[in-house]
Structure 1
Amino acid sequence: MTAGVQPRPPSFTASVRKGDIPKEYQLQRYYTAADVGQHNTSHDCWVSFFGRVYDLTPLLAEHEGPLAQPIIAAAGSDISFWFNEATGQPKEHVHPETGMQEIYCPWGRYIHVPPQGPESGWATDYRTPWWEDERYFIGLRSERTRKVCIVNLLTRQKNTLEVPVEETVAEIQNRYLVHNAHAGSYTWKRLGKPLNMEKTLAENGMEDETEEFLRLSIDPDNHIPVIHLHFNDDLTEA
């Protein structure tokens, strides 16, 4: 496992706002843009920047008001353009009217960004700004995704998943649990050969040919590799 990828326990309670029902979920090493995009509200807010994914739901639970609105508006998206990649800090620019150097806030000033002048309501009782706070970090954003078709030979159910290229087959199996809670009761095979669950698809001989198909003007969706699930006769806990 990549160092620093999973700083939290395997499950994480995202919401702490009084009256909310805490939402628990299983942490993953990698997330797709679609994974992040599903968490796009103030009560379920994920963002990504510079290849890292953050769950800011607890932050928004503690900070209501106008400074929360830009983050809520960005929920489910990548906000790398808010920050300087070299420093990891918010970008700065010269204000066109005042001529003063200030933090660049394209959607308005947000939590932990100081005001330009004195402000009585400005709270400084925090140690680490949220963009540096590892408490909110939940995993990495995949550099590239690919599609794989999973066919259950027992039920004839077919599902196509978009998965990070970095994930092992075991991690793909975990994604597949939403379609079949007993996915662990099957042997996963490609062309009749059992897959090594601790290796990626490419490491199992299933190279990602998406870019080559596009170069040849061939629709990659017509050539999605297939994994067959063979039932093992005993329903085990997935």
Structure 2
Amino acid sequence: MKRPRYFTPSEVSVHCTVEDLWVSYLGKVYNLTPLVQEHKGDILLKPIIECAGNDISHWFDPKTKDIRTHIDPLSCCVKYFTPRGRFLHVPPPCPRTDWANDFGRPWWRDSRYEVGLLSAKTRWIRIINTLTSQEQSLEVCSEETLDEILQRYLRYNSHAASYTWKHDGVILDISKTLEENGIPDEDEEFYKCRMDCDLYTQSICLYFNDDLTEL
């Protein structure tokens, strides 16, 4: 099975227009652009569009994976809790004959829109090319392997796979994560010591190999 791709919150946040609308919730990232285009002009899209590029996990009950509910004080019935206003696929508060409920699975349960997973923790890493002395800081997902981080770095060096990746002189296993390679996330330690975590960023050094592999 293909490994899902991880995204940082920053990556999700740039998809914040009607023409390119992503959201994240309950640890997953969704591209709702097709949904918005399909229902273009529908007023029920307004709460979704307002939250474009953001995490909307607070809309959902983590146990049921459904929209949060509450007891309506007037009818004493269980209803969806939508403080930003009713949105697409949420039934009206009262019975109505003009509400089309034949849409099938509601969008928040439709896996067609899922594009990957939201990183539970991101971290910054410095990648230093020892051949050119070029240094690049990257925000990466803590769950990513070195090979996936390499894919992020390709836009800065298209021959990155032709280098040996090392940390403190030790060759890294690109099939493992930073943590598994002995490069710990020290943000918590910095916090406990009341130090600015931006003062120090772990680094990976790239050493040039003879073969220039075209990717």
Q: Give yes or no for TM over 0.5.
A: yes
Equivalent in 33, 36, 40 of residue 57 of structure 1: 33
Could you tell me which residue of structure 1 aligns to residue 100 of structure 2?
123
Distance of 2:98 and 2:195 partners within structure 1: 58
**Which of 118, 125, 132 is matched with 1:155 structurally?**
132
Give the deviation of 1:96 after TM superposition. 4.8
What SS does the aligned partner of 1:205 have? coil
Matches of 1:157 and 1:38, distance apart in 2: 27
Contact 1:190/1:228 (8 A) holds in 2: yes
Q: State the SS of the aligned residue for 1:166.
A: coil
User: Number of residue pairs matched?
Assistant: 214
Asked whether 1:47 is paired with 2:17, we answer no
Q: Does 1:218 align with 2:195?
A: yes
Q: 2 CA distance for matches of 1:122 and 1:235?
A: 61
**Code of the aligned partner of 2:36:** L
**Matches of residues 1-238 of structure 1 in structure 2 within 5 Å?**
6=4, 28=5, 30-64=6-40, 65-96=42-73, 100-119=77-96, 121-238=98-215
Distance across 1 between alignment mates of 2:106 and 2:134: 47
| Residues 93, 101 of structure 1: 8 Å contact kept | yes
Structure 2 counterpart of 1:62, one-letter code: E
CA-CA distance at 1:99 after TM superposition? 5.1
Over the aligned positions, Cα root-mean-square deviation in angstroms equals 2.0
User: Kindly tell me: are residues 181 and 96 of structure 1, through their superposed partners in 2, closer, same or farther at Cα, counting changes over 3 Å?
Assistant: farther
In 1, the alpha carbon distance for the partners of 2:144 and 2:150 equals 10
| In 1: Cα distance, 2:83 partner to 2:159 partner | 46
Under a length normalisation based on structure 1, what TM-score does the superposition of the two structures give? 0.82
Q: Report SS of the residue matched to 1:34.
A: helix
Name the SS for the 1:202 alignment partner: coil
Runs of 4+ in 1 over 4 A off after TM superposition: 96-100, 118-121
1:197: how far off?
0.3
Unpaired stretches in structure 2, ≥5 consecutive residues: none
Percent identity reads: 48
Deviation at 1:185, TM superposition (A): 2.3
Amino acid corresponding to residue 28 of structure 2 in structure 1: R
Any conservation in 2 of the 1:82–1:106 contact (CA below 8 Å)? no
Distance, in Å, in 2 between the alignment partners of 1:129 and 1:78 is 18
Point out the more displaced range, 165-174 or 113-122.
Answer: 113-122
Q: Which residue of structure 2 aligns with residue 23 of structure 1? A: none
Q: CA deviation at 1:121?
A: 4.9
TM-superposed deviation, 1:71: 0.8
